[in-house]
Amino acid sequence: MTDGTPHPTEIDVTALGEALARYAPLALRITATPGVSIAVTDRAGNSHVSAYGMADLADATHMRPESVFHLGSISKLYVSAAVVQLAERGRLDLHRPINHYLDEFTVRNPLGSRDITAYDLLTHQSGLGTSSAFDATLGTPGSLAKHLADGYGTAEGIEYGQPGARWTAPVGARFQYTTFGMATLGHLVEVTNKAGLSFADYVASEIIEPLGMTAAAIPDLPAPGHAPAALLDARATGYARFGRWCVPTPEVHTPLYPAGGMLGTAASHNRFLLSLMLGGRLDGNQILRPESVRAMVTPQNPAQFPGGDHGIGLGMELRQLGRPDFFFGHAGAYPFGWWSFSRVYPGLGFAVTVLSNAWDMARFFNPVDRSASGLITEFVANWVATGGGSAGRSTLGWDEQAAYAMGLLMGERLRGLFNIADPLGPAVTDRMVAGARLIPAGGYGETWSADGFAEGVRALDGFEPSAERIRAFLSSPECLASAPDLDLHALEFGASHAEWPMPMSFWADRVEQNRALYGHLDQLGF
Q: Do 470 and 416 meet the contact criterion of CB atoms below 8 Å apart?
A: yes
Q: Do 37 and 20 meet the contact criterion of CB atoms below 8 Å apart?
A: no
* Residue from 260, 282, 284, 286 nearest 88 by CA: 286
Burial of 446 (0-12, 13-18, 19+ CB in 10 A): exposed
Residue 393 sits at the vertex; the CA angle it makes with 14 and 488, to the nearest 5 degrees, is: 95
Angle between helices 483-492 and 398-412 (to 10 degrees): 80
- pLDDT of 17 reads 96
Residue-wise pLDDT for 376-420, tens only, equals 999 999 999 988 865 545 678 888 888 999 999 998 888 888 888
Q: What is the C-alpha to C-alpha distance for residues 330 and 11, in angstroms, rounded to an integer?
A: 22
Residue-wise pLDDT for 156-202, tens only, equals 666 655 667 889 999 999 999 999 999 999 999 999 999 999 999 99
Residue-wise pLDDT for 69-118, tens only, equals 999 999 999 999 999 999 999 999 999 999 999 999 999 999 978 999 99
Q: Do 15 and 388 meet the contact criterion of CB atoms below 8 Å apart?
A: yes
281-282/285-286 β-pairing: antiparallel
Alpha carbon distances (Å) from 156 to 133, 159, 161, 515 = 11, 10, 12, 52
Alpha carbon distances (Å) from 498 to 323, 494, 507 = 22, 9, 19
Alpha carbon distances (Å) from 4 to 117, 326, 335 = 33, 11, 39
User: For residue 341, what are the β-bridge partners?
Assistant: 331, 354
* Residue from 321, 314, 329, 331 nearest 81 by CA: 314
pLDDT(331) > 80: yes
Element (H, E) at 339: strand 338-345
Residue-wise pLDDT for 65-75, tens only, equals 999 999 999 99
Kindly report the pTM of this predicted structure.
0.85
Q: What is the C-alpha to C-alpha distance for residues 150 and 302, in angstroms, rounded to an integer?
A: 33
* Residue from 60, 64, 78, 69 nearest 355 by CA: 69
